[in-house]
């Protein structure tokens, strides 16, 4: 827990930067949609605004969400925060974008399944008694908690996979010094032992 006071400011700056980025993205997307509606209403080509723009918006939203999740890891494990962490993340996920997208979409799908279960079994589960609904609510809460923790671990793993893909040095002793974690009887390894650049991940 000693690392929390050290990183919470960087995390808050990164969250604020992502909040501003998502806000700007939504405003620009809304303005583009309005302009396209007026332009293509004259030429009778509404398929652009009804199909292509929502798909492009969704892809941009997925990309920004991946950057946001990995930027939080960068903010904790490196000195970067805010827009600098987002820029670092954008550079890191190049080459491993499809892996990040697939993992992110699977996690979102898992969250949606748990929320649908909660809706069906707890909120509108009229065929169940109060005790069963409370039990299902606790089970859904535990599933969500497990998913959140799993998501944090997966984000960190993707961060290290991306660093390895770009042949960046992963030095455990420097990382522990950065986080000020007690190493115990840890013997620092040489950087050639810690790097994963010789292996294809």
**Mean of pLDDT over the chain:** 80
pLDDT tens for 180-192 read: 654 555 555 555 5
Q: Which residues of 79-104 are buried (b: 16+ CB within 10 A; e: fewer)?
A: ebbbbbbbebbeebbeebeeebbebb
Which among 147, 144, 134 has a CA at the least distance from the CA of 106? 147
DSSP character at residue 135: H
pTM above 0.85, yes or no: no
Report the percent of the chain where pLDDT is more than 70.
76
State the Cα–Cα distance between residues 16 and 12, nearest whole angstrom: 6
Q: Per-residue pLDDT averaged across 141-157, rounded?
A: 91
Q: How confident is the model at residue 89 (pLDDT cuts 50, 70, 90)?
A: confident
Determine the Cα–Cα distance for residues 103 and 57; give it in Å rounded to an integer: 20
**Cα-based torsion angle of the residue sequence 114, 118, 119, 122 in order, rounded to the nearest 10 degrees:** 170
């Amino acid at each position: 827990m000693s690392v929390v006071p050290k990183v919470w400011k960087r995390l808050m700056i990164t969250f604020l930067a992502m909040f501003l980025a998502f806000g700007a993205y939504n405003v620009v997307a809304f303005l583009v949609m309005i302009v396209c509606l007026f332009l293509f209403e004259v030429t009778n080509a509404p398929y652009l605004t009804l199909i292509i723009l929502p798909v492009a918006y969704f892809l941009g939203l997925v990309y920004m969400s991946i950057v946001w999740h990995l930027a939080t890891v960068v903010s904790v494990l490196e000195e970067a925060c805010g827009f600098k962490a987002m820029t670092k993340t954008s550079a890191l996920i190049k080459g491993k974008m499809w892996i990040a997208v697939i993992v992110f979409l699977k996690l979102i799908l898992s969250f949606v399944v748990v929320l649908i279960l909660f809706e069906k079994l707890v909120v509108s589960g009229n065929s169940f008694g109060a005790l069963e609904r409370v039990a299902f609510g606790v089970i859904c809460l535990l599933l969500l908690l497990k998913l959140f923790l799993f998501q944090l671990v997966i984000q960190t793993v993707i961060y290290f996979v991306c660093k390895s893909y770009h042949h960046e040095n992963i030095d455990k002793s420097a990382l522990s010094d950065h986080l000020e974690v007690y190493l115990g009887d840890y013997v620092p390894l040489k950087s050639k032992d810690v790097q994963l650049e010789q292996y294809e991940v």
